[in-house]
Structure formats: C-alpha cells, structure tokens
C-alpha cells in the first residue's frame, strides 16, 4: 500500500522540489482559473465586473494564504523552509562575526576536549587489545602487590597444572644490544616470551613464521627472533627478504623467523613491542640464568584465554590451589601465592587503576566544560534573541507562527553547534595524531595508539547537536512568552525581570567549575615545580647519566669488574668531570629490586622472617660523591671492598632505624641476605626517593658493585659548571674505547627523571589545559551575561545618567550582578578546588592546596577574568549618550 503510493508521490515531490517555478505557476493558474469562473458566475448574476472579481477573491478568503496551505499540503515546505532558515541564519550570523566566532570557538573547545578525552578512554579502556578474542584474555595478578611477577619455575607449574586456561603465556621485557649487521649495535627492548606466546594469543605472522613451544629445548636453545611490524619497518627498512636473516643480540647470532602483522603491538598498551625471542634465551639476553631460580621473579606477566565454560571465579580458585601447593612445597623460596585475574593491557590494576581514575576525572571535567559551554551559549543566544526582540515581534505580529520563529532560532543554534563541533573535532584529531607519535620517554618505545575511531566522530556530532538543542532552548522560552505588541511599540523586551534566573545560576555554577579547574591546575603546577626541587636523596642537577648493559657486548660476568673499573677511570679523567660512579639501577627509574634483610642469627630464610625489605642498589665507590648523596655516619665504599674482601653494605637512615633502631646502632652491625651471605654495615647515608616520588620513606640497601657484579650499568658523572654539552661526547668516546660494541645512551639525569615525573607532568598538563579552557569559558560566560544586562538596561542606564548618576553608580547598576555572581561562584569553586586538590596529592608530589601562592593565584585569576570579561560591556555602559538614547524612542 505505502510502496504503491510512492509511484505517485515521489515524482510529485521531486517535481515540487526541482521544478519550483513551474509548480508555482501551475498553482497560480489553477486558482486564477477558479477566480475567472467565479467572477463570470457573479457577473451573470448581475454584479459589475469589478465587484464580481472582488467577491470571488473574498470567497477565496485570501489568495496568498490559500497558496501557502497548498504548498504545505505539498510537504516540500519543510525542505524549503529549512533551506531558507539556513540561508537567513548564515546571514544573521555573518552580520555579527565577533559573537559568532566566540560561540563557535567556545563549542570547539568544549567538544574538542570531550572528543580527546573520549578518544583516550576508547583507546586505553574501552577498546580491547589488538589480539583475537581480547575479551577473554586474562593476566594473573598478585592479590597483595598489584604485580604480575613470578619466577620462571612458578610459571611452568601454573602453565602445566592449571585446568582453566587454554594456554598460559609469559613474558618479560629486557634491554639488549641489537646489531642488524652494521657492527654498530643499538639498544632495544626485547620481549622475552614463552614459546607458546604467539599460539596462546592467536597471532599469525605477516611474513615467515613465529616460534612455538616445540622450538624451546632448554637454556639458550632457541636463537630465534620475531620482529614487530614497526621494528621491521624502522630497523630493517621493511626488508622483504628478512626471513632467515641473522642478527646479533648481545653478540649472539639470532635468526629472524618472521614479522607480526602491523596491528599487533604486544599486549601492553603503552609499550610498543619491537622484538620477540623465546624466554629460554634469558641468559644471553639478561646475562643471568634464572630459569631454575624460584626466588627470582623473572617473569613480568603471565596471561591466557579462559577455556570455554570456565568462569573467572573458577579460574582464580584453580590458580590459587596450585599457588598453595607451591607455597607448601617451597616454603623458604616463595612469598604468598594468591592471585586474581586482571586485564593484561594496563598491567592489571597497577596501571589500570590510576589510569581509570585519571580518565574518569578528565571525563567529568570535560563534561563540566561542555555544560559550561552550553550555559554560555545559551546566554549568548538569549542576549541575541532579546536584541532581536523587535524583529521577532514584528514577524509574530505579521502572522508568522511561533513555531516557525522558533525553528529559525534553532536553525541558527544548530548551525553554530555544527560549526563548533566540526572545528572541535578537527582540533582534537590533530591533537590526537600528535599525541600518538609522542614518545615521552625517549629511552623506551612508549607509544599510545590514539587513532580516533568512528565512535569519537559520532560522539562529537551527537554532542554538537545536543549542545545546539540545549542552548537553542533558552531563547526559545523567551520567544514563547513574548507578547509582540508592546515590543513592536517600544522596541525592546519589557516586563519584570526575576531577581535570579536559571541563567544566573548556570553562570555561577560555571564560574565555580572554572575556579575548581584553575585551583587544581595551579596546585598541580606548584606541586610539579616543587617536586623538581625536592630532596631526592641525590642531586640530579649538574650530572650526566650514561646507560648501558655489559651483556649487550656479550661479556661474561667475570669480566664486569675490570670493564667497570676502566669505564669509571676514563670518565673520571675527562676534564670537567668532578666525580664518576656506577650504579646498577637508577633510583626513580623504570624498575627496582628488593632485597630481604635478615637478622644475623637467622637460619630459616622464609620471607616472613625478614627484618626488612629494602630497595637494593649495587654501586661503585665514587657513586655517592657523583650522585651527591650525603654520608651521615661511618664510611663510603672504597676500592678495598673488592670481591675477596669481607662483604660490606651501606644503608639509608630509614633502614638503619627500622632494623637496628638508629644510625649509630647500625654501624658495624651484621645482617644476612636471603642467600645466607653475611654483610657488615659500614656506613649510613641520607634517605631518598627510590621508586616513586610519592612513596613513604623506604629502606634502601647499597652494596659494592665489585662484590655483586651487574651487567646493567648506569654511569653517573658529576660535572662542574655548564660544560655538560662537551662532556657527553667525551663520555661516549670513553665507552667506545672501552668496548666499541657497547651501545650507550647519554642524557642529563634531570631528563631521566622524566620517568618518575611523567604521571605528574601528564596530570599537570591535562589540568592546565582544562583550567585554561575553563577560564576561557568563564570569561565568555561573564562577558555574555554582562553584555546582555547592559544592552537590556540601556534605557534605564541612560535615564540614570541623564538624572546625574555618577559613573560608579552606573557601573554598579550595569555590572553589579555579574560581579556578585563572580564572587559567589568563585568562592564556591575555590572551596571545591581545595577539596579536589586533596585527590591530586596522590598523583602530583607535594601538591597542597594550603599554599598562599595558590590561593592568591586563584583569586587573582578570577579577578583578572572578571575584569577582562566586563571590560567591553562596562565601556559600553559608560560611553552611553543619554540624550541620543532617549531621543531614539
């Protein structure tokens, strides 16, 4: 039935749309014919020609109106009117380019911010990993430490004994020297993965093949690598003959088996994996073989797909039953083995929780910004509508339907909204592209994949439309309540104004949001600045760090002390270097190691018997001078603390206090490590920050590098004055002369600290941007409100001035409300901001809202903001010419 009717209606509609003139002509002809007949009819009844025509027209009850009804019946008026509205709207908007640009910009900011935050949410949380069946992929996470670490033998037990996973894969990330054949190795991060890794994940190679569990036959038995697409492109210029080529990892030959597809970037969202090699090659990659060490937690993460029909709860029970058996079998070797299932993409809740909390905060802020922008545009459009009250009233008085007038206003609002949405989307896409290629910490292949997906575009469109409707409604109320006749007479809206309107409330709310944003960004910036000058327990300024790993040049552990000695000696000899020391792990770096300290008399070394858990560092004698760590009691290490000398240790004050009671009590005392080695404490140094900036005081244990050799080498060179630029090449040369095959990465220590400061930096930057947007919105909001109130009361102000009011009184009358709102909203926002800053303190070190600088800053910012926003309206109010204004009526 319906379809059949289209046979008739579609040609009609098309004709009405595209043959407009013809259709109009026909309509006129048709009605004229009727009039002609009717006139003739009347003439035949005895009326004169003229009277007859008049009577015929009267019978028609208005020719134009009837034509309009016929057009309505044709239903093309909708399209027609819309086009007309758009044309008219564009003309009106173009007539006031300033406010229009302001409105578009406001929306672009708000929608852009939302699109960016949503894209972040999409790529970090909502969108699954780029692996098949990502939704059933789970990792194991320790219940008590948010860590997925376990020993390799533990992993094997879980892999072989569990009945819940289709397969359990494991991996660890380790730096290694990669020589692609140039003889000049560079440092890469290698993913050491279990043989079943690709099979568990279901990754098919793009070129060649991947390795399987059957390729592993014991330690160092599988000299194969699989390249990520990116590594293949960037390090091997996408060599099509790559399969079968031999490369060197830490001087050991490895065969390239294949390349993974471009969308596979490993299973850690932040980390773009480059090279995969079987875990059994641990000794060649890291320099140590811990494949049989149950005490060494050498596996970073284990993961797998649950078997069909197995619930996560069942899997957890299964895993924990195995964990309990392991605990019982190796009581002195393993700590508590209780696990839960987690998401591998953000390393479970270790990164997942802060990232989620941070994103939730950002989304809330972005939503508030959008709301503020809508409130803003609503007032802007209401002001515009009241400025056009006369035009609207005239149209109403001439018989336009209110609906038609509203549609016109809505069209304008939607035009602005769509323009703003498009601009915001464009800006956010540009920003996201930049963020995707950003490598915040050059040493690591940290990359975010932030390609905006269709959802992001859809969100921007929906937000734009929603915003348009939202702020189109505010002026609509005004039009609906309008009585056209007094307005046509007087030219402006009359009637009483309520003391406080919804718009005022919105504005106060918006100012409060802005104050929250400004407060928290100031708190964050202050905290960041302070954390750069905080007491780390070392002095990063004026030092250079050179990082390398002796395994990369294929040296055996026995050769480490000699190489270390040569490196330290040659760097210390560089003019401008005051001290040069070595440490195996840099404090506040990407990783750390803990050692359990036992009382001297201990015989049972199960973890629960330890006196303290201390962060462990192995250092050369000059490290403390080079790092600028102060000695509080006892002595530093010397060259006499060599491998054959008695084992010694230096602890920090926190460790001394915790294990022995005080600095003095610790000196000369003995303790044991888990491997039953006895050490004597010879010195106590100041406390510092070792793992994160926000950590509580931690116990730290330093041992001589010569007595516990390590392949990881961080050389700390303290330089005098600002000769750092010349010293870096000299250090590189010193490394090259020691061993040309040793890749080295040199940067100022302050730069290396970026890793520790990264979360604070990101939080500060994000809050700063949000704060700025919030401030901008508050300015436009207050401006809109002030401009509106001035334009609405021009006549009143003119009369006041004519009656001799002083300038201050005029200003008060014109802008009093704007400032009152600013004060109310500002103080509420400041209060909320101070509360919000408490939350911030967890991310940004030393962020405290009880800071006179911050409080003064916020007040100043709000004042400045009010001044900027009311400047133009105030100027307009003061430059009124009362005579001209009153005569105009």
CB of 93 to another protein, least distance (A): 34
State both tokens at 633.
């009691």
Query: Considering the rule CB under 8 A, would residue 796 count as an interface residue with another protein?
Result: no
Stretch that binds another protein, among 30-38, 87-95, 224-232, 687-695 (CB under 8 A): 30-38
Specify the stretch interacting with another protein by CB under 8 A; choose among 66-74, 172-180, 638-646, 658-666.
66-74
Listed in sequence order, the residues at least 6 apart from 382 whose beta carbon sits closer than 8 Å to its beta carbon are: 474, 475, 478, 503, 788
Local structure of 143: helix, strand or coil: coil
Of the residues 59, 317, 391, 569, which one makes contact with another protein according to CB under 8 A: 59
- Which of 15, 53, 54, 74 is close enough to bind another protein by CB under 8 A? 74
Q: Which region among 33-41, 287-295, 353-361, 468-476 touches another protein (by CB under 8 A)? A: 33-41
Sign of CA dihedral 73, 78, 83, 88: positive
Question: Does residue 26 touch another protein according to CB under 8 A?
Answer: yes
Among 18, 33, 500, 758, binds another protein (CB under 8 A): 33
Question: Quick one: which of 302, 275, 268, 308 has its CA closest to 129?
Answer: 268
| Under rule CB under 8 A, residue 5 binds another protein | yes
Q: Quick check: 439 binds another protein (CB under 8 A)?
A: no
Give the nearest distance from C-beta 409 to another protein in angstroms: 25
Q: Which residues pair with 714 in a beta bridge?
A: 547, 583
Q: Which of 45, 46, 61, 575 binds another protein (CB under 8 A)?
A: 61
Task: Identify which of residues 29 and 51 has a Cβ nearer to another protein in the complex.
Answer: 29
Tell me if 401 contacts another protein by CB under 8 A.
no
Choice from 24, 30, 600, 888 touching another protein (CB under 8 A):
30
Instruction: Report if residue 64 touches another protein, rule: CB under 8 A.
Output: no
Minimum distance, C-beta of residue 10 to another protein, in the bound complex (Å)? 9
| Tokens, residue 182 | 């140039």
Q: Are strands 275-278 and 186-193 parallel, antiparallel or unpaired?
A: parallel
What are the tokens at 854? 């911050």
Q: How far apart are CB 804 and another protein at their closest, in Å?
A: 56
If the CB atoms of residues 70 and 360 are measured against another protein, the closer one turns out to be: 70
Q: How far is CA 155 from CA 152, 211, 416, in A?
A: 5, 19, 59
Choose between 9 and 96: whose C-beta lies nearer to another protein.
9
- Work out the burial of residue 593: count CB atoms within 10 Å of its CB; fewer than 13 is exposed, 13-18 middle, 19 or more buried: middle
Find the shortest distance in angstroms from Cβ 30 to another protein. Answer: 5
Contact window for another protein (CB under 8 A) among 53-61, 150-158, 290-298, 771-779? 53-61
Q: Does 404 bind another protein (CB under 8 A)?
A: no
User: In a 10 Å sphere around its CB, with 0-12 CB exposed, 13-18 middle and 19+ buried, how is residue 712 labelled?
Assistant: buried
- In angstroms, the CA 617 to CA 583 distance is 7
List the interface residues with another protein, window 348-367 (CB under 8 A): none
Contact status, residue 170 vs residue 291, Cβ threshold 8 Å:
no
Stretch that binds another protein, among 46-54, 62-70, 416-424, 435-443 (CB under 8 A): 62-70
Using CA atoms, how far apart are residues 734 and 567, in angstroms rounded to an integer? Answer: 7
Minimum separation from the CB atom of position 47 to another protein (A) = 16
Q: Would you count residue 8 as binding another protein (CB under 8 A)?
A: yes
# residues near another protein by CB under 8 A:
31
807 contributes a contact to another protein by CB under 8 A: no
Cα–Cα distance measured from residue 110 to residue 112, given in angstroms and rounded to the nearest whole number? 5
Q: Least distance from C-beta 1 to another protein, angstroms?
A: 8
The answer to whether 295 and 287 have CB atoms below 8 angstroms apart is no
Per DSSP, the residues of 245-306 read: -EEEETTEEEEEEEE--TT---S-TTB---EEEEGGGHHHHHS---TT-SS---B-EEEEEB
Q: For 489, which DSSP code? A: H
From 9-17, 556-564, 761-769, 861-869, give the range in contact with another protein by CB under 8 A: 9-17
* 56-to-148, 600, 680, 767 alpha-carbon distances in Å: 92, 120, 120, 73
Q: Does 29 bind another protein (CB under 8 A)?
A: yes
SS3 state at 330: coil
Using CA atoms in the order 710, 289, 330, 161, what is the torsion angle rounded to 10 degrees? 140
Determine if 558 is a binding residue for another protein (CB under 8 A).
no
Residue that has been written with the tokens 């059949």 in this structure: 4
34/209 with CB nearer another protein: 34
Assign 437 to helix, strand or coil.
Answer: coil
Six token digits for residue 351? 């990164």
CB of 53 to another protein, least distance (A): 13
Of the residues 14, 70, 360, 562, which one makes contact with another protein according to CB under 8 A: 70
Beta strands in 441-558 (DSSP E): 543-549
Report, in Å, the least distance between residue 806 CB and another protein. Answer: 58
Q: Reduced to 3 states, what is the DSSP secondary structure of residue 442?
A: coil
Contact segment (CB under 8 A) with another protein among 3-11, 142-150, 553-561, 753-761 equals: 3-11
Nearest Cα to 714, choosing from 187, 182, 171?
187
Buried b (16+ CB within 10 A) or exposed e, 234-256: ebbeebeebbeeebbbbbbebeb
Minimum distance, C-beta of residue 404 to another protein, in the bound complex (Å): 16
Of 32-40, 85-93, 141-149, 347-355, the segment contacting another protein by CB under 8 A is 32-40
Closer CB to another protein, 29 or 796, in the complex: 29
* 400 scored as a contact of another protein (CB under 8 A): no
Residue in 69, 263, 600, 639 binding another protein, rule: CB under 8 A? 69
Whose CA is closest to 213, among 308, 224, 205, 164? 224
678 near another protein, rule: CB under 8 A:
no
DSSP state of 187: E
How far apart (Å, rounded) are the C-alpha atoms in residues 337 and 347? Answer: 18
Choosing from 19, 48, 75, 736, the residue that interacts with another protein (CB under 8 A) is 75
Shortest Cβ distance from residue 69 to another protein (Å)?
Answer: 4
Bridge partners of residue 596, in order along the sequence: 613
Q: State the minimum distance, in angstroms, from the CB of residue 24 to another protein.
A: 13
Q: Stretches 5-13, 236-244, 446-454, 593-601: which one binds another protein (CB under 8 A)?
A: 5-13
* Residue 89 to residues 408, 608, 822, Cα–Cα distance (Å): 7, 76, 33
DSSP state of 534: S
Stretch that binds another protein, among 27-35, 168-176, 720-728, 761-769 (CB under 8 A): 27-35
Binding of another protein at residue 72 (CB under 8 A)? yes
Q: How far is the CB of 41 from another protein (least distance, A)?
A: 9
Task: Give 716's strand partners.
Answer: 545, 581
Q: How far is the CB of 54 from another protein (least distance, A)?
A: 14
Q: Does the protein bind another protein through residue 556 (CB under 8 A)?
A: no
* Distance in Å, CB of 433 to another protein, minimum: 50
Is residue 78 close enough to count as binding another protein by CB under 8 A?
A: no
Evaluate whether 796 touches 556 at the Cβ level (below 8 Å). no
Pair 410, 544: CB distance under 8 Å: no
60 binds another protein (CB under 8 A): yes
Residue 66 as a binder of another protein (CB under 8 A): the answer is yes
Footprint of another protein (CB under 8 A): 1, 4-9, 12-13, 26, 29-31, 33-34, 36-38, 56, 59-62, 65-66, 69-70, 72-75
């Amino acid at each position: 039935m319906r379809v059949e009717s289209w046979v008739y209606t579609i040609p009609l509609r098309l004709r009405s749309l595209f043959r407009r003139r013809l259709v109009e002509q026909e309509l006129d002809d048709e009605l004229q014919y009727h009039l002609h007949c009717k006139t003739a009819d009347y003439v035949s009844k005895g009326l004169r020609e003229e009277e007859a025509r008049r009577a015929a027209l009267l019978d028609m009850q208005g020719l134009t109106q009837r034509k309009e009804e016929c057009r309505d019946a044709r239903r093309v008026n909708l399209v027609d009117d819309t086009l007309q509205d758009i044309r008219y709207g564009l003309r009106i908007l173009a007539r006031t380019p300033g406010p229009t640009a302001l409105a578009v910009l406001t929306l672009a900011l708000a929608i852009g911010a939302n699109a960016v935050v949503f894209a972040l949410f999409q790529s970090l949380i909502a969108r699954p990993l780029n692996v098949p069946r990502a939704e059933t992929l789970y990792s194991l996470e320790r219940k008590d430490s948010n860590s997925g670490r376990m020993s390799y033998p533990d992993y094997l037990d879980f892999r072989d004994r569990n009945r819940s996973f289709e397969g359990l894969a494991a991996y660890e990330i380790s730096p290694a020297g990669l020589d692609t054949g140039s003889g000049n190795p560079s440092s890469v991060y290698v993913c050491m993965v279990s043989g079943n890794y690709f099979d568990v994940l279901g990754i098919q190679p793009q070129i060649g093949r991947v390795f399987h569990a059957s390729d592993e036959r014991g330690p160092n038995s599988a000299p194969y690598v699989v390249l990520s697409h990116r590594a293949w492109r960037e390090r091997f210029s996408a060599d099509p003959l790559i399969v079968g080529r031999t490369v060197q990892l830490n001087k050991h030959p490895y065969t390239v088996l294949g390349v993974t597809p471009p969308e596979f970037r490993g299973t850690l969202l932040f980390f773009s994996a480059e090279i995969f090699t079987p875990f059994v090659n641990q000794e060649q990659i890291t320099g140590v073989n811990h494949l049989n060490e149950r005490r060494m937690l050498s596996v970073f993460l284990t993961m797998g797909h649950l078997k069909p029909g197995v619930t996560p709860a069942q899997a957890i029970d299964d895993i924990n039953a195995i964990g309990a058996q392991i605990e019982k079998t190796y009581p002195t070797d393993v700590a508590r083995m209780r696990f839960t299932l987690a998401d591998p993409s953000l390393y479970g809740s270790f990164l997942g929780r802060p990232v989620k909390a941070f994103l939730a905060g950002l989304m809330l802020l972005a939503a508030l910004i959008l709301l503020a922008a809508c409130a803003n545009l609503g007032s802007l459009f209401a002001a515009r509508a009241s400025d056009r009250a006369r035009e609207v009233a005239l149209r109403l008085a001439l018989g336009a339907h209110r609906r038609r007038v509203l549609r016109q206003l809505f069209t304008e609002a939607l035009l602005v909204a769509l323009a703003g949405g498009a601009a915001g989307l464009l800006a956010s896409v540009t920003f996201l592209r930049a963020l995707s290629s950003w490598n915040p910490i050059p040493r690591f292949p940290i990359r975010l994949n932030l390609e905006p997906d269709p959802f992001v575009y859809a969100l921007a469109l929906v937000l734009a439309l929603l915003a348009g409707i939202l702020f189109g409604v505010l002026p609509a109320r005004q039009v609906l309540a309008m009585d056209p006749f007094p307005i046509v007479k007087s030219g402006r809206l009359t009637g009483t104004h309520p003391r406080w309107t919804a718009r005022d409330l919105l504005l106060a709310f918006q100012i409060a949001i802005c104050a929250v944003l400004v407060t928290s960004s100031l708190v964050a910036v202050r905290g960041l600045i302070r954390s750069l000058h905080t007491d780390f327990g070392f002095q990063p300024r004026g030092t250079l760090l050179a990082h390398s790993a002796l395994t990369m040049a294929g040296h055996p552990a026995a050769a480490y002390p000699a190489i270390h000695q040569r490196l330290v000696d040659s760097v210390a000899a560089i003019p401008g270097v005051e001290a040069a020391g070595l440490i195996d792990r840099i404090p506040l770096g990407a990783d750390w190691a803990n050692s359990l300290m036992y009382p001297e008399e201990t015989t049972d070394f199960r973890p629960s018997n330890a006196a303290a858990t201390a962060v462990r560092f192995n250092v050369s004698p000059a490290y403390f001078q080079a790092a600028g760590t102060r000695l509080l009691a006892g002595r530093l290490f010397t060259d006499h603390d060599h491998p054959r000398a008695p084992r010694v240790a230096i602890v920090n004050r926190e460790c001394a206090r915790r294990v022995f009671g005080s600095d003095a009590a610790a000196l000369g005392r003995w303790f044991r490590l888990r491997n039953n080695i006895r050490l004597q404490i010879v010195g106590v140094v100041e406390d510092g920050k070792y793992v994160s900036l926000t950590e509580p005081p931690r116990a730290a244990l330093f041992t001589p590098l010569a007595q516990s050799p390590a392949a990881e080498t961080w050389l700390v060179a303290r330089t005098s004055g600002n000769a750092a630029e010349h010293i870096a090449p000299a250090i590189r040369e010193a490394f090259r002369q020691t061993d040309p095959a040793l890749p080295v990465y040199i940067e100022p220590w302050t730069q290396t600290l970026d890793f520790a400061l990264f979360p604070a930096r990101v939080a500060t930057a994000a809050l700063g941007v949000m704060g700025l947007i919030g401030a901008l919105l508050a300015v436009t909001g207050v401006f809109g409100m002030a401009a509106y109130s001035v334009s609405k009361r021009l006549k009143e102000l003119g009369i006041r001035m004519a009656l001799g009011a002083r300038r201050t009184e005029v200003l008060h009358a014109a802008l009093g409300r704007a400032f009152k709102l600013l004060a109310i909203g500002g103080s509420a926002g400041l209060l909320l901001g101070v509360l919000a800053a408490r939350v911030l303190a967890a991310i940004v070190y030393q962020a405290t809202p009880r800071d006179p600088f911050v409080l003064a800053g916020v007040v100043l910012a709000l004042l400045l903001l009010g001044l900027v926003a009311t400047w133009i309206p105030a100027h307009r109010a003061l430059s009124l010419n009362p005579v001209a204004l009153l005569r105009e009526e």
